Structure 1
Amino acid sequence: MKIATLWLACSAAIAQTSEGERQSFVPIDSSLETQFNAVAMDERVQAALIKLEEREEEAIQEQIRITEIPAPPFQEERRAAYFLERVKERGLADAYIDDEGNVVATRPGTGNGPTLLIAAHLDTVFPAGVDTTVEFRDGRYYAPGIGDDTRGLTVLLSILEALNESGITTHADIIFSANVGEEGRGDLRGVKALFREHPETDGFISIDGVRLQRITTGGTGSRRFEFEFKGPGGHSFGAFGLPSAIHAMGRAIAKIADLQTPQFPKSTFTVGTVDGGTSVNSIAANAVFAIDMRSNDKDSLAILERQAKTAALQAVAEENARWNRNLISVEFHLIGDRPVGVTDHRSPIVQAAALAFEAQDVNLLGLNISSTDSNVPMSLGIPAITLSGGGDGGGAHSPDEWFSPVDSHLGPQTVFLTILALAGIEGVADPILEQRDD
């Protein structure tokens, strides 16, 4: 999960709500609230909520075990294999690992309801070799990846266990997945594969990170490229007069640095890495930089991409003109594509989550936009949200990442209620989640 977020200002949601007050970020339909209340008051649901709190200490130990299985980008296999066995232990014996590397398990409903997909990602940002041993200090658990997204994986298992023991039959089929490729150059490959394989999905919840305070209803899109500059190269003295790939790259970076972007919708860029050349006394034959461009608006992102590419082409032309040699070229290699998306704050999936916050006396501080697995279904027009797994934490994407189990049971409880309200319970309430037209 990416750290940067943009707050969504919903109509009338000016001030934060205090505990006990109805939040004002999400309008609640009265008939939908009636359905939610029927689910929340069911004796089996209440018993499951109690068990989720009672077993939270045990869940934290599972979180530690998962954290200590490294899962670098594109190397999630060991963690996936471990997670698969834990899913099977919780009643879904047909769980499997798909061709992309995702753990997938389906809990069938009555057969006439919608399909709800719940996911948490297996991968971390940390490369192979990083020590993920968990240390406990001053009331906190420290380890790379212990919050993002080992916490989400732990909540997924807790919810599966609660459902398996509850005896509840849902109207909806519920697909549970521990997916690969959410971080960095993983480029959401896991969740993209899930939606290729399960186009019947009617709604999606990503469980990602800590601090249960907000509902993510928007997806910041990004386009990432390597701009590769090529030329003949040569000796710095003997071949002087030939254009340089590095000089062209420098011109391009300078032009990109001067680009103006709108504050709203927020649009950003950065040249994150550079490479190239052979030696200090060589005219560079090659140079490459990686650029990350982001926006909360699809059209703004497309404009920014055109501007960056135009700047690079102009830089090449200027470098060639400087030496009167048409020898430098540039190629654009796409290395990341996270689509822009949004779920309307009036959507039933958002209302269900807001009601679950309220039922658990969790203060909903607002809605936000971030870059998560939910980007993919949002971009496809499928209702999707991201919720955190609860507890406190910080230092995500750093070696000093930490987690504290302060009221952490509220995470699985809130997600559990949201899922059951959306899925509906046979003999109790119809599903809040609507089936999409084919």
Structure 2
Amino acid sequence: MKSFVKVSMVAIALMSTCISAQENINIEKKYTKEIAKLVKSKKVEAAFGHIDQQEEQTMKDLVTLTEILAPPFKEEKRGKAFAQMLIAAGVDSLWTDKVGNVIGLRKGTSGESGFVGIDAHLDVVFPEGTNVSVTKVGDTLKAPGIGDDTRGLTMLISMLKAMNKSGIQTQKDLLIVGTVGEEGLGDLRGMKYLFNESGLPIDSWIAIDGGDIGRISNAGLGSKRYKVIVRGKGGHSWGHFGLANPHHALGKVISLFSSDAWTYTSGNIPKTSFNVGRIGGGTSVNSIPFESWMEVDMRALHPNNLDEIEKLFKLSVDKAISEYNSSGITDEVTYELIQIGDRPSGELSPSLPLIQKTMAATEHFGVEPKLGRGSTNINIPVSKGIPSVCIGRGGKGGGAHSLHEWYLNDETGPASIKLALLITLAEAGFNK
């Protein structure tokens, strides 16, 4: 199992929401000039001023939303609070769709079809019963979910308020969205609905997630996730000794898969990872279990490698179970594979206008833009070739996905909201 531990560490390294950049890309001068022209506008200047003036209220909104726990599939209560904030901030219309996405429409002036969307996700990784009360230590706020991605939701509210107070109009319609199901087993269900089923003509997408200002994701890290359930008759550890044992069979599955997968991922291929994240089953120490299960996560930079390790996984499971059933035990075990996650890979060219504008806007704030890859809401539009970026929340923070998560609103906090506004105006078209 030594090699399996090594692979688990590889998987952990890939778990961050927006992975750090691999490359810096040149920004075309025309986009730098476009951003410079935008920030000279009196309306944009006024909007920036409103963002600064709203910071105290923005932080109050952060506390309010953080203290409404929103596990995946149970985002409704937080969604309602976020919807009320959108209404108060001045959206033209608002609705909650079939899966729970909260969508605010801000109309543009062109009358053209096709939306520019900007979102942050409503859900957090924490289960029901988690204490999400916010505590303050100096200027630092501490609570599970305070950064990922509750801070992103408050950025949308501040941005919308600033646009309305300064009289900014865009040419294209804007969708300002609190999405559901970004985390874990939510499996991007909010974005999958928006892009696969809603019928909304979405031209481009901006997601707010991740941490530092300057981190830009233009690529999606794909993943496949499965639950393996092994079943047997079960019985007494002494009285039924020799009976097929699902735990023993699952152990063989893990051993064989980790060995074969380590050989594959160690080859000369783009980075690919695997991880057994959870294991369970059994009733007592002196009982042969009737059921054993595990959850497996596989990720890859390239879609072909993701397909290959998925095939290898399925073959390993089938082979291990067959070998176990042929090992001389009494009776046999059966198994079931349940897919619990499917996030597509994809990558957009840095030369796309939206990505160029995002980098130029980032550079305006004196921050070096860095492109990277992550497992975020943009996996869905990116896989379809729809222009999309994921940008950071700014400020300082840490402990994401832990009970010790914290957020400190330094000067990059309001700057990140201004950045989101600039990118949105550049993409949607700005009426002076």
TM-score calculated relative to the size of structure 1: 0.89
Q: Distance in 2 between matches of 1:140 and 1:242?
A: 56
Alpha-carbon deviations, 1:136-159, whole Å to 9, x = none? 113311111110011100100011
Task: Count the aligned residue pairs.
Answer: 412
Q: Distance in 1 between matches of 2:20 and 2:270?
A: 12
Q: Does 2:86 match 1:81?
A: no
Q: Distance in 1 between matches of 2:104 and 2:29?
A: 33
Q: Return the offset for 1:186.
A: 0.9
**Unpaired segments of 5 or more residues in structure 1?**
11-24, 429-438
Secondary structure at 2:407's aligned position in 1?
strand
Structure 2 letter corresponding to 1:3: S
- Residue in 2 aligned with 1:216? 217
Quickly say closer, same or farther: Cα 1:157–1:264, change in 2 above 3 A.
farther
- Residue in 1 aligned with 2:22? 9
Quickly say closer, same or farther: Cα 1:98–1:133, change in 2 above 3 A.
same
**Unpaired segments of 5 or more residues in structure 2?**
1-13
Secondary structure at 1:256's aligned position in 2?
helix
Secondary structure at 2:105's aligned position in 1?
strand
**Aligned residues: percent identity?**
37
Structure 1 letter corresponding to 2:319: Q
Secondary structure at 2:35's aligned position in 1?
helix
- Residue in 2 aligned with 1:124? 124
Q: Return the offset for 1:57.
A: 2.4
Structure 2 letter corresponding to 1:201: I
Q: How does 1:39-54 map to 2 (within 5 A)?
A: 39-54=38-53
- Residue in 2 aligned with 1:149? 149
Quickly say closer, same or farther: Cα 1:69–1:324, change in 2 above 3 A.
closer
Q: Distance in 1 between matches of 2:269 and 2:42?
A: 47
Quickly say closer, same or farther: Cα 1:4–1:87, change in 2 above 3 A.
closer
- Residue in 1 aligned with 2:387? 383
Structure 1 letter corresponding to 2:171: H
Q: How does 1:36-435 map to 2 (within 5 A)?
A: 36-109=35-108, 110-112=110-112, 114-195=114-195, 196-258=197-259, 259-260=261-262, 261-262=265-266, 265-323=270-328, 327-364=332-369, 366-407=370-411, 408-426=413-431, 428=432
Q: Distance in 1 between matches of 2:63 and 2:393?
A: 14
Q: Distance in 1 between matches of 2:357 and 2:315?
A: 45
Structure 1 letter corresponding to 2:16: I
Q: Is the 8 A contact 2:18 2:210 kept in 1?
A: no
Q: Is the 8 A contact 1:67 1:143 kept in 2?
A: yes
Q: Return the offset for 1:400.
A: 0.8
More helix per residue: 1 or 2? Answer: 2
Q: Distance in 2 between matches of 1:356 and 1:399?
A: 34
Alpha-carbon deviations, 1:100-143, whole Å to 9, x = none? 11110111212136421101011111111111111111331111
Q: Which moved more, 1:371-380 or 1:325-334?
A: 325-334
Alpha-carbon deviations, 1:3-49, whole Å to 9, x = none? 26544433xxxxxxxxxxxxxx2332333444333322221111111
Quickly say closer, same or farther: Cα 1:281–1:324, change in 2 above 3 A.
closer
Q: Distance in 1 between matches of 2:63 and 2:300?
A: 35
- Residue in 1 aligned with 2:9? none
Q: Return the offset for 1:93.
A: 4.5
Q: Distance in 1 between matches of 2:138 and 2:89?
A: 33
Structure 1 letter corresponding to 2:50: K
Secondary structure at 1:197's aligned position in 2?
coil
Q: Return the offset for 1:52.
A: 1.1
Quickly say closer, same or farther: Cα 1:88–1:266, change in 2 above 3 A.
same
Q: Distance in 2 between matches of 1:141 and 1:279?
A: 42
Q: Distance in 2 between matches of 1:86 and 1:93?
A: 13
- Residue in 1 aligned with 2:34? 35
Q: Is the 8 A contact 1:151 1:210 kept in 2?
A: no
TM-score calculated relative to the size of structure 2: 0.90
Q: Is the 8 A contact 1:275 1:288 kept in 2?
A: yes
Q: Is the 8 A contact 1:242 1:323 kept in 2?
A: no
Q: Distance in 1 between matches of 2:121 and 2:315?
A: 36
Structure 1 letter corresponding to 2:94: A
Quickly say closer, same or farther: Cα 1:240–1:223, change in 2 above 3 A.
same
Q: Return the offset for 1:244.
A: 2.0
Q: Return the offset for 1:199.
A: 4.3
